[in-house]
């Protein structure tokens, strides 16, 4: 059943980003974070957290990668000068820069039954939006949700166009997203005509 865009649970639930789980992955896993670049020489690593309270990601044990390998976060702290959801993590068993470099771009999942349930029936995890098809109001599929970032001004939908090109951000409000159909793996968005044109380089413009 299609739903309007309710307010997601205020509990520290998964909030963001990037790709949907690989097709061959267990369907009870929810994306909660992604490792980034190594930080320093002692095994610390950058971590993009997708939980409502970014540092709450360390409370979920174990964290599971797409290949089935598990990780435990010993400590996390805010990354200096970074966005609220960017952390510096100490991972159990990772003690060298070389080991932390190997973690770059590893996505982290948690079993759904370890997450606090939404308060109401029509609530959902923001992570459930990742991978949904985006249809315009004419019913045409125009893209896919690849992330739900929040830079301090409210949740945004990061949408990859159906045709190749850069992603674009849409405010996650009922005005812009009148229909959400989690079961049908789609949502309807009221997109400006030039939605995917914003940010594209002009012809002949240097991309470097």
Give the Cα separation of 12 and 115 in Å (integer).
9
At 200, the pLDDT band (50, 70, 90 cuts) reads: low
DSSP letters of 19-78? PPPPTTS-TTEEEEEEEEEEETTTTEEEEEE-BSSGGGGGGSSSEE-TTS-EE-EEEEEE
Cα 6 to the center of its chain, rounded Å: 18
pLDDT digits (tens, 9 = 90+) for 136-151: 999 999 999 988 877 7
The mean of the pLDDT values for the chain is: 81
**Which architecture does CATH list for 29-113?**
Beta Barrel (2.40)
At 203, the pLDDT band (50, 70, 90 cuts) reads: very low
Q: How far is residue 110 from each of residues 58, 113, 128, 140, measured CA to CA in Å?
A: 11, 9, 13, 33
Q: Where are the domains of the chain?
A: 29-113
Please report the pLDDT score of residue 103 as a whole number.
Answer: 98
Q: Which residues pair with 108 in a beta bridge?
A: 33
Q: How far is residue 107 from each of residues 34, 91, 113, 153, 196, measured CA to CA in Å?
A: 4, 14, 19, 25, 26
Q: Return phi, psi of residue 141, to 5°.
A: -80, 120
């Amino acid at each position: 059943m299609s739903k309007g865009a309710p307010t997601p649970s205020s509990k520290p639930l998964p909030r963001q980003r990037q790709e949907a789980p690989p097709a061959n992955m267990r369907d009870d896993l929810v994306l909660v974070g992604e490792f980034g670049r190594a930080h320093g020489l002692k095994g610390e690593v950058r971590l993009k957290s997708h939980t409502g309270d970014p540092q709450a990601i360390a409370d979920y044990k174990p964290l599971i990668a797409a290949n089935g390998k598990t990780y435990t976060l010993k400590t996390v702290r805010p990354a200096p000068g970074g966005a609220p959801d960017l952390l510096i993590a100490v991972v159990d068993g990772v003690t060298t820069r070389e080991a932390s470099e190997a973690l770059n771009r590893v996505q982290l999942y948690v079993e759904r039954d370890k997450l606090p349930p939404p308060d109401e029936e029509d609530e959902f995890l923001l992570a459930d939006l990742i991978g949904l098809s985006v249809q315009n109001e004419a019913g045409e599929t125009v893209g896919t949700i690849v992330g739900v970032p929040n830079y301090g001004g409210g949740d945004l939908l990061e949408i990859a166009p159906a045709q190749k090109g850069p992603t674009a951000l849409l405010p996650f409000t009922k005005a812009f997203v009148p229909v959400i159909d989690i079961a049908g793996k789609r949502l309807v968005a009221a997109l400006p005509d030039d939605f995917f044109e914003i940010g594209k380089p002009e012809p002949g413009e240097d991309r470097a």
